[in-house]
Structure formats: C-alpha cells, structure tokens
Amino acid sequence: MNRHSLSLSLRNDPGALARVVVLFASRGVVVESLSLDPTERAGVSRLDVVLALPPDRPVTQLVKQLSRLYDVEMAIEVTSAAA
C-alpha cells in the first residue's frame, strides 16, 4: 500500500463530508486519519486526510475524482510515501 496525504477545500453543506467518504469507500481507499477544520473563508472547511492506496491505483485519478464533486472546491496531494 502507498500512503498519501491530501488536502481539500470543502463546502460546509449538509452531506458534503459523507459524499467524500462514500467516494473513498467505493474506490477501496483506506483512510488512516482525517481532520476537518474551518478556514478563514465563511462556508468552507479544510479537510486533511491520510490514506492508503494499492500500488496499482494512481492517486492522481483519485484527486481528479474528488475535484469533480460539487462540494470540493480544491483537492491536492500534499505528500506520498510507500508503506
């Protein structure tokens, strides 16, 4: 498994976090840690997540899929490492 850290800007709408977590579950992502904090922008939170992906699953594809969600304003990979 490869370990990755992602940072997302997430709208503070009902069900926004649930939609992100459902995407992770449907893609077989193992979430190791998750932190959600408010930002200085009203209505937007920062979601930091550490996750593990099988070596054959590119994190770039997951970042693109997250970016397509209505609730996600921005998604970037912060770091990656083999575990």
pLDDT at 80: 63
Is pLDDT larger for residue 1 or for residue 41? 41
Q: Where are the domains of the chain?
A: 2-82
pLDDT at 83: 53
Global confidence as pTM: 0.89
pLDDT at 81: 63
The angle subtended at Cα 67 by Cα 64 and Cα 68, nearest 5°, is 95
Q: Percent of the chain, pLDDT > 90?
A: 84
d(CA 66, CA 6): 10
C-alpha separations of 22 from 14, 18, 19, 39, 65 in Å: 14, 6, 5, 23, 12
CATH code for the part of the protein at 2-82? 3.30.70.260
In the structure encoding, which two tokens stand for residue 45, read together?
């939170």
